[in-house]
Chains A and B, each alone.
Chain A
Amino acid sequence: AQSVTQLGSHVSVSEGALVLLRCNYSSSVPPYLFWYVQYPNQGLQLLLKYTSAATLVKGINGFEAEFKKSETSFHLTKPSAHMSDAAEYFCAVSESPSGTYKYIFGTGTRLKVLA
């Protein structure tokens, strides 16, 4: 069975500050991990994904995440927050990189960016 835990349902950062959103996973098989962003009343947009290639994954909008097997973590970071980054962020895990298998989502972290 797979699961995802996102620590911190709400995170606030100042504009220009480092963004760190935490994600820990549990999986009995090699995991494939994803970060999605959701703006109000919209669907999900993929930020980045880990599919067993490089452990440091770079995504869109300046985000990146590092897969750490020893810590079972896949935390999302961005060096400098922008007001437009305010949104809900979801971490997800899957048993397959192909997209044909179900994703298990974490409970989400709402990011607030302060001016």
Chain B
Amino acid sequence: GAVVSQHPSRVICKSGTSVKIECRSLDFQATTMFWYRQFPKQSLMLMATSNEGSKATYEQGVEKDKFLINHASLTLSTLTVTSAHPEDSSFYICSANHRSYNEQFFGPGTRLTVL
């Protein structure tokens, strides 16, 4: 158990378009999910904490209007990159809290390339 999936795994889009990334906990319910971004050869930087049924909490410096997060159910959180630009190109990783294991489980990541 404790599998987290992300869809899509890779996406290429044109500058100015919006992209939605899904994060699903496949075999458990997650009241809390997290979104990270990782630039090449760098660490994971937390973008926001997403709680089911409430507004996401964004880290300092992360534009909430640009990175829209929705956690509509206990198994799904979505990150929408609005009006994407080349500088938004990155590896986006989500994680979900599994209460039984008292730890976060990470998805495989989504590689976003904005042309």
Interface of A with B (CB < 8 Å)? 34, 36, 41-46, 49, 51, 90, 97-100, 102-108, 110
Contacts and interface: CB of A to CB of B under 8 A. Distances in A.
Given A90-B44, A102-B46, A43 B99 contact: no
What DSSP secondary structure best describes chain B's contact surface? strand
Interface size on B, as a range, is: 20 to 34
B29 interface: no
A41 B109 contact: yes
A104 B49 CA distance: 13
A107 B42 contact: yes
B107 A43 contact: yes
What DSSP secondary structure best describes chain A's contact surface? loop
B97 A99 contact: yes
B109 A49 contact: no
A43 B93 contact: yes
Given A49-B103, A98-B97, A99-B97, A41 B46 contact: no
